[in-house]
């Protein structure tokens, strides 16, 4: 009889523990397969972007240059987001991270030039010059921040040697 009471008590404790675990699940970690609101935002944004791309391609189906612009822009953005994701996941100071940084800069610069071309084509000459100047400044500053002024480059600089006793 005492053995049955101990067994029933153990079952009750196990049930209480399982209920507490179900009421307080561990918080979802973004980017780790969790289904919190923030982990679904990039997917929702890409679905929305894909839908808008499909609509733009359908509307411009008679203009192959416009269709190619829309499709190239979409593919560039997809590759850019993918490379950014890989860059964030790569270990610091690794060659892969430097290669991904190059890919990110190239894809962002390509997108900047593509949009500048489309905008400048619709503007009067003085405004088009400003658009191209802004694009050149953006690409140049991107190069500076990605390759010249980087935390990885700061780590590779030699520290000055201290004179005197250690």
For the chain, give the percent of residues with pLDDT over 90: 51
Residue with tokens 């390509």: 110
Is 104 exposed, middle or buried, given 0-12, 13-18 or 19+ CB atoms closer than 10 A? Answer: buried
Can you tell me the mean pLDDT for 2-9? 63
Residue pLDDT, tens place only, 49-103 = 999 999 999 999 999 999 999 999 999 999 999 999 899 888 888 889 889 999 9
The whole-angstrom separation of Cα 67 and Cα 4 is 75
pTM: 0.65
Query: Cβ–Cβ contacts within 10 Å for residue 58, how many?
Result: 9
Residue scoring higher pLDDT (18 or 73): 73
- Helical residues (DSSP H) of 24-94, grouped into ranges: 37-59, 64-89
Which residue shows structure tokens 């610069």?
A: 109
pLDDT of amino acid 30: 47
């Amino acid at each position: 009889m005492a053995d049955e009471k101990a067994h029933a008590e153990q079952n009750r404790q196990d049930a209480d523990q399982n209920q507490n675990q179900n009421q307080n699940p561990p918080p979802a970690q973004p980017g780790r397969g969790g289904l919190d609101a923030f982990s679904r935002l990039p997917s929702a944004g890409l679905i929305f972007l894909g839908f808008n791309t499909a609509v733009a391609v359908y509307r411009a189906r008679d203009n192959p240059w416009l269709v190619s612009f829309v499709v190239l822009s979409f593919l560039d953005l997809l590759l850019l987001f993918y490379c950014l994701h890989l860059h964030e996941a790569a270990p610091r100071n690794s060659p892969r991270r430097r290669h991904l940084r190059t890919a990110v800069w190239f894809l962002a610069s390509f997108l900047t030039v593509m949009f500048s071309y489309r905008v400048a084509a619709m503007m009067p000459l003085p405004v088009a010059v400003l658009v191209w100047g802004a694009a050149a400044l953006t690409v140049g500053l991107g190069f500076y921040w990605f390759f010249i002024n980087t935390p990885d480059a700061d780590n590779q600089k030699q520290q000055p040697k201290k004179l005197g006793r250690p």
